[in-house]
């Protein structure tokens, strides 16, 4: 590469020696590699010696590039300034050795900023945003002269990246693959031989590869065995792709799409190769470290402890969020009013942070980047409402707002988590206290306007008033917003809503367990089998059809009679199909993602037994590997006979799946007192459901 300007999206950072390699995607040019200088560093606090004297002693040490005095903020909670030593190390390879030596020194009280990855340390030093846009001026051989990030905009479209999704089917030697080009046009799925797919990878040149870790590992083994070019590696259960490509797990891609993944990585402020599949807690920790370093706050070692409290103290202090027990049964014309990102909104509007909770003046440490994420999430959420559901732009907005929704909600919970190196349990309790008071105030406003609260869950209220229409619910939401200073919206208005009981407790309502039909004739389900990722597709589909049959009639009385009969018929028809072996095996697969190697599980759960069986077939099983399994003989004493891996053929326990279907039916029909072992609904007074 000659001298010039590079304008593109930052796909990855790899650090080695004393340089950082940046992979940048330029539209129309593919990925380019830039080289920048990098020196790892850390901060240390002297013990029993003047900082200047310790700096003099360290200057002569091997592997140290430079030692200087700096003024840094000692901690977020105290926000006091102290003098520390900044130690620059010659190379990445020497860094761990230097840190160990300094931590063992009697002249060092503590070391800071040593838990950051080198990629994040570099990103912070340059203020770069991964999967965000940057502009760089470069010299010969791609050496960086200047580089700067462009501020994130509010365009929902993802970066112009090529995406390859594939799933290997070793039973046939084929791979199901889907290509998506830089203009986000998706080609139809194609089935090609594995060798053809892997042999043409360089020609297709994807920027993002979506597949399971297991498939990636197997693909690398296939490439080695057949003399094909390798494109990555799997080490310690983690997938790594070469040439700047990003690996993403299928479940992450399906949940967020490319736009949502880009939004999550931009929030993380960490190399996409490492952070594309991170959960919310790890994402928040990463962003806090990035912000702390950028603001001159010393970053302590990770790890901490939960404050020790007696049961009396916990009962007095830690009340948690407010959940009002659901009124079990069928309800008509119910409005759901929801505070938009209530907990992060409280943190932003009330300036609740780790240090402000104990009286520190000034804006809280977590407020600014929480406000940024909150404003972006609400923008994409509101933009989505004006788009056709399922359209490309709608999916982009949905992916981005979902990525931020998970992070924002966990920002509140993570504030008191033991793993949060900056955490303060008092912050968590204060957020809960203010949230409880706000929900009670909102409920009282609704009560004064004639509404009855059927259910409340932390940041939402399920309300009912005879004759109320969507406009009335919106007026109430506006009044509550004006009173509390928080944005409240009408999430849904249900024509019919069924609040479900706890399993085994017919009259005790269960939190987040309900289903209903909205005034727009959309069906909503929460907390039942079809919402669980490990429910067989056939069972989930039967439950979905049972709900639609139940809520199809036009009056409450018809729902309780003809609707119940129709739902029971759906379930009984499904059971007959199972006993007649008319259901394809693929529709009976349960899918579960491993959290570790099968040998690490104490309880030999069905998916663990299936994973062990696959290991016996010389297939690699580790964390994040998806396991598909089928019940073969659920009552057998040998766990390898109870289940078997999906796709390998063999016996299917039809009666086990009949029981799963009936259990899904019981979940739906619990408030209607229907015994599915003796088909046909009982006569139930209509007043029971009014």
Confidence band for 243, pLDDT divided at 50, 70 and 90 = confident
Residues 45 and 110 in one domain: yes
Mapped onto helix, strand or coil, the DSSP state of residue 36 is strand
Average pLDDT for the chain: 90
Place of tokens 């299936």: 610
Does any domain span residue 468?
Answer: no
Nearest Cα residue to 578 out of 655, 472, 479? 655
Nearest Cα residue to 645 out of 679, 601, 677, 611? 611
Residue 78 scores a pLDDT above 50: yes
Question: Of 112 and 212, which is predicted with more confidence?
Answer: 112
Rounded mean pLDDT of 94-110? 94
In this predicted structure, what is the pLDDT of residue 233? 78
Residues 45 and 74 in one domain: yes
Does any domain span residue 377?
Answer: no
Question: Of 233 and 388, which is predicted with more confidence?
Answer: 388
Residues 99 and 131 in one domain: no
Residues 8 and 111 in one domain: no
**H helices within 8-115, ranges in order?**
51-58, 95-103
Residues 29 and 93 in one domain: no
Residues 29 and 47 in one domain: no
In this predicted structure, what is the pLDDT of residue 317? 65
Domain boundaries, position 16: 4-37+126-149
Nearest Cα residue to 39 out of 87, 97, 89? 89
CATH of the domain at 30: 2.40.50.140
485 C-beta neighbours (distance < 10 Å), count: 11
Q: Are 346 and 436 in contact (CB under 8 A)?
A: no
Separation between Cα atoms, residue 266 and residue 277, nearest integer Å? 13
Separation between Cα atoms, residue 10 and residue 246, nearest integer Å? 11
Residues 112 and 76 in one domain: yes
| List of E strands, 211-296 | 232-235, 238-241, 246-248
Does any domain span residue 275?
Answer: no
Does any domain span residue 78?
Answer: yes
Helix axes of 250-268 and 280-294: crossing angle, nearest 10 degrees? 20
pLDDT digits (tens, 9 = 90+) for 305-330: 556 667 776 666 667 788 899 999 99
In this predicted structure, what is the pLDDT of residue 218? 86
Nearest Cα residue to 162 out of 106, 127, 201? 201
Residues 72 and 111 in one domain: yes
How many structural domains does the chain have?
Answer: 2
Q: Are 268 and 278 in contact (CB under 8 A)?
A: yes
Q: In percent, how much of the chain has pLDDT > 70?
A: 94
238-241 and 232-235 strand pairing: antiparallel
Report how far apart the first and last C-alpha atoms of the chain are (Å, whole number).
Answer: 74
Rounded mean pLDDT of 254-258? 94
Question: For residue 362, which phi and psi values (nearest 5 degrees)?
Answer: 95, 170
Does any domain span residue 625?
Answer: no
Separation between Cα atoms, residue 70 and residue 90, nearest integer Å? 19
Separation between Cα atoms, residue 400 and residue 215, nearest integer Å? 27
pLDDT digits (tens, 9 = 90+) for 48-71: 999 999 999 998 888 899 999 999
In this predicted structure, what is the pLDDT of residue 306? 59
Q: Which residues contact 107 (CB under 8 A, 6 or more apart)?
A: 46, 47, 48, 49, 54, 57
Does any domain span residue 194?
Answer: no
Lowest-confidence region among 364-378, 529-543, 675-689? 675-689
Place of tokens 């669980």: 532
Half-sphere exposure in the Cβ direction for 387 (13 Å, CA): 17
CATH of the domain at 97: 3.30.70
Residue ending a domain, choose from 116, 140, 160: 116
Confidence band for 682, pLDDT divided at 50, 70 and 90 = very low
152 C-beta neighbours (distance < 10 Å), count: 16
Residues 58 and 102 in one domain: yes
Residues 30 and 49 in one domain: no
In this predicted structure, what is the pLDDT of residue 102? 94
Residues 55 and 90 in one domain: yes
Does any domain span residue 274?
Answer: no
Rounded mean pLDDT of 4-8? 93
Q: Are 329 and 685 in contact (CB under 8 A)?
A: no
pLDDT digits (tens, 9 = 90+) for 415-460: 888 888 887 888 888 899 999 999 999 999 999 999 999 999 989 9
Does any domain span residue 61?
Answer: yes
In this predicted structure, what is the pLDDT of residue 417? 84
Nearest Cα residue to 162 out of 130, 208, 202? 208
Q: Are 243 and 9 in contact (CB under 8 A)?
A: no
Separation between Cα atoms, residue 550 and residue 337, nearest integer Å? 25
In this predicted structure, what is the pLDDT of residue 688? 47
Rg of the chain's alpha carbons, rounded to an integer?
A: 28
Residue 681 scores a pLDDT above 50: no
- Give the predicted TM-score (pTM) of the model: 0.83
Q: Are 482 and 297 in contact (CB under 8 A)?
A: no
Residues 32 and 130 in one domain: yes
């Amino acid at each position: 590469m000659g001298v010039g300007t590079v304008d593109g999206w930052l796909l990855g950072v790899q650090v080695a020696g004393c340089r950082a390699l940046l992979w940048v995607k330029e539209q129309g040019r593919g990925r380019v590699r830039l080289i920048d200088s990098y020196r790892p560093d850390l901060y240390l606090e002297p013990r029993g010696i003047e900082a200047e004297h310790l700096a003099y002693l360290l200057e002569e040490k091997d592997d140290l590039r430079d030692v200087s005095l700096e003024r840094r903020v000692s901690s977020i909670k105290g926000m006091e300034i102290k003098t520390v030593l900044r130690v620059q190390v010659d190379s990445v390879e020497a860094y761990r050795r230097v840190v160990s030596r300094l931590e063992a020194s009697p002249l060092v009280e503590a070391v800071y900023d040593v838990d950051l990855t080198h990629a994040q340390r570099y990103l912070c030093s340059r203020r770069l945003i991964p999967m965000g846009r940057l502009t760089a001026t470069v010299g010969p051989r791609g050496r960086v002269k200047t580089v700067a990030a462009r501020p994130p905009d509010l365009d929902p479209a993802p970066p112009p990246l090529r995406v390859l999704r594939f799933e290997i089917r070793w039973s046939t030697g084929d791979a199901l693959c889907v290509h998506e080009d830089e203009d986000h046009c998706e080609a139809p799925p194609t089935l090609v031989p594995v060798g053809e797919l892997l042999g043409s990878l360089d020609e297709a040149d994807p920027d993002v590869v979506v597949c399971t870790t297991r498939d990636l590992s197997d693909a690398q083994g296939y490439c080695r065995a057949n003399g094909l070019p390798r494109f990555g590696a799997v080490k310690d259960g983690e997938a790594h792709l070469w040439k700047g490509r990003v690996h993403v797990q299928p479940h992450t891609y399906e949940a967020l799409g490319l736009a949502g993944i880009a939004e999550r990585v931009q929030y993380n402020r960490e190399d996409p190769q490492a952070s594309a599949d991170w959960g919310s807690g790890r994402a928040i920790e990463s962003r806090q470290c990035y912000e702390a370093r950028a603001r001159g706050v010393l970053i302590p070692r990770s790890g901490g402890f939960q404050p020790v409290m007696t049961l009396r103290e916990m009962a007095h202090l830690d009340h948690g969020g407010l959940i009002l027990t659901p009124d079990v049964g069928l309800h008509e014309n119910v409005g759901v009013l929801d505070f938009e990102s209530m907990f992060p909104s409280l943190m932003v509007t009330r300036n609740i942070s780790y240090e402000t909770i104990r009286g520190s003046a000034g804006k809280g440490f977590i407020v600014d980047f929480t406000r940024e994420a909150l404003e972006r999430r609400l923008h994409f959420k509101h933009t989505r409402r004006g788009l056709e559901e399922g359209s490309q732009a709608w999916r982009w907005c949905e992916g981005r707002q979902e990525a931020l929704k998970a992070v924002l909600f966990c920002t509140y919970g993570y504030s008191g988590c033991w793993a949060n190196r900056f955490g303060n349990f008092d912050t968590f309790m204060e957020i809960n206290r203010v949230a409880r008071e706000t929900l009670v105030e909102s409920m009282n406003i609704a009560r004064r306007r004639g509404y009855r609260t059927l259910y409340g869950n932390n940041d939402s209220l399920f309300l009912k008033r005879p004759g109320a229409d969507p406009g009335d619910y919106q007026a109430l939401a506006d009044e509550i917003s004006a009173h509390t200073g928080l944005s409240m919206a009408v999430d849904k208005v249900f024509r019919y809503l069924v609040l479900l009981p706890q399993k085994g407790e017919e009259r005790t309502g269960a939190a987040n367990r309900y289903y209903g039909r909205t005034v727009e004739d959309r069906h909503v389900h929460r907390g039942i089998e079809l919402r669980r990722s490990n429910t067989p597709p056939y069972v989930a589909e039967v439950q979905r059809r049972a709900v639609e049959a139940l809520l199809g009639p036009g009056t409450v009385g018809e729902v309780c009679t003809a609707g119940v009969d129709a739902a029971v018929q759906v379930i009984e028809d499904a059971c007959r199909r199972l006993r007649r072996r008319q259901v394809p095996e693929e529709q009976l697969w349960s899918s579960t993602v491993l959290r570790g190697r099968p040998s690490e599980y104490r309880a030999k759960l069905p998916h663990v037994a299936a994973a062990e069986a696959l290991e016996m077939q010389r297939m690699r099983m580790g964390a994040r590997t998806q396991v598909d399994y089928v019940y073969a003989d659920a009552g057998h004493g040998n766990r390898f006979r109870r289940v078997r891996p999906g796709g390998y053929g063999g016996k299917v326990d039809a009666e086990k799946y009949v029981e799963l279907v009936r259990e899904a039916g019981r979940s739906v029909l619990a408030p209607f007192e229907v015994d599915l072992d003796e088909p046909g609904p009982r006569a139930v007074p209509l007043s029971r459901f009014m």
